[in-house]
Amino acid sequence: MGALRSARDLGLNPDYEGKVRDMFDLGDSFLIVTTDRISAFDVIMNNVVPGRGVVLNVMSLAWYEHFADLVGNHLITADAREFPAPFNEHADALGGRSMLVRKAERFPVECVVRGYIAGSGWKSYGKDGTICGHKLPDGLQLAQKLPQALFTPSTKEDEGHDENIPFSTVVDMIGQQQADALQKLSLDLYNTGSDYAEPFGVILADTKFEFGIIDGKITLIDEVLTPDSSRFWPASEHQAGQEPPSWDKQILRNYLETLDWNHEYPPPAIPEEVLAKTSRRYHEVLEILFPKEAEKWQAFL
């Protein structure tokens, strides 16, 4: 199926355009279209990665289902033929990459869970031996498995970078009961997801969940355990002391590092080959973890 850069290319006008998603506000619901846009260093490339949006969308759908016994989610339907007009008229272009979801009252917290130490967690540990107020053992190496998975929340910033916060700040923001519930749920989802991925040779190093309230209940929203919201590492390439290549934008980032580019707009043009390899990498992780879903949505991938 064809790549999609923007819903605008279909003559649709999104109410909100994120780096990756085009959102349509339909009153009680949102129609979320995951495009094939890709960003690096917070800059959206002009080129798209074909099928990337479908991979992200289908993976989230697969995890919603896998987690159905643990938590409800916002999904109404991912069958584009069932979308309200005029979206159903674009079922071929929107299928596989879109979902109609119930609007939630979002918690202003990114529910990050880390089972391994990398990224901003590694930086924070290097400074003072803690992450979000958790005191960690001395002598941990980069990419090492933590004694247990940790809830390391961050703020959800509309502009700029999210900031790690201690659990007590989450309590101040949303109250003890809700904070406890989000922490427990996030850890349960991480552990369940990581147990699922392990036999496939995939390490779920860390991830970020978002939750909201729908009908008074804590509900899973947004993307779930995708390569954009998580670090997936091939277990065969994991060794403490160095960060394995994750299933995401590594190929693109590596290419960009070879250029003399200041990480500001306008982005450089990305060669076909880099786009194709990146696309392959995204498809690969879906095929490894959810071969049946990959087959089911094959027409759109």
Ligand X SMILES: Nc1ncnc2c1ncn2[C@@H]1O[C@H](COP(=O)(O)OP(=O)(O)OP(=O)(O)O)[C@@H](O)[C@H]1O
Q: State the residues that interact with ligand X by CB under 6 A.
A: 18-21, 23, 30, 74, 101-104, 106, 210, 212, 221-222
Residues 6 or more apart in contact with residue 25 via CB below 8 angstroms? 15, 16
Q: Which residues contact 241 (CB under 8 A, 6 or more apart)?
A: 141, 142, 143, 144
* Whether 41 contacts 90, CB under 8 Å: no
Output the smallest distance, CB 199 to ligand X, in A. 29
Looking at the Cβ atoms of 84 and 126, the one nearer to ligand X is: 84
Helices (H), the chain: 52-66, 91-94, 119-128, 167-174, 176-197, 250-257, 272-289, 291-296
Smallest separation (angstroms) from ligand X to the CB of 208:
9
- Nearer to ligand X among residue 21 and residue 97 (C-beta): 21
Torsion, Cα 163 169 173 176, to 10 degrees, reads 140
Our CB check for ligand X shows the closer of 212 and 227 to be 212
Least distance (Å) between residue 140 CB and ligand X: 29
Shortest CB 240 distance to ligand X, Å: 30
What is the C-alpha separation between 121 and 119, in angstroms, rounded?
Answer: 5
Please check whether residue 30 is in contact with residue 76, taking contact to mean a CB–CB distance below 8 angstroms. Answer: no
* Complex with ligand X: residue 222 or 248, whichever CB lies closer: 222
The Cα 286–Cα 221 span in angstroms is 20
Smallest Cα–Cα separation from 15: which of 24, 6, 27, 28?
24
Complex with ligand X: residue 103 or 283, whichever CB lies closer? 103
Residue nearest to ligand X as judged by C-beta position:
18
Give the list of residues 6+ apart from residue 77 with CB closer than 8 angstroms, or none: 83, 99, 100
Q: At its nearest, how many Å lie between ligand X and the CB of residue 239?
A: 30
The CB-of-249 to ligand X minimum distance in angstroms stands at: 13
Distance (Å, whole) CA 154 – CA 144 = 21
String of DSSP letters for 54-88: HHHHHHHHHHHHHTTTT-EE-EEE--GGGSPTTGG
Give the residue with the Cβ less far from ligand X, 136 or 221. Answer: 221
Shortest distance, CB of residue 209 to ligand X, whole angstroms? 11
From the CB of 212, what's the least distance to ligand X, in Å? 5
Nearer to ligand X, 30 or 247 (CB): 30
Residue 223 token pair: 């993307």
Specify the residue, 26 or 187, whose C-beta has the smaller distance to ligand X. Answer: 26
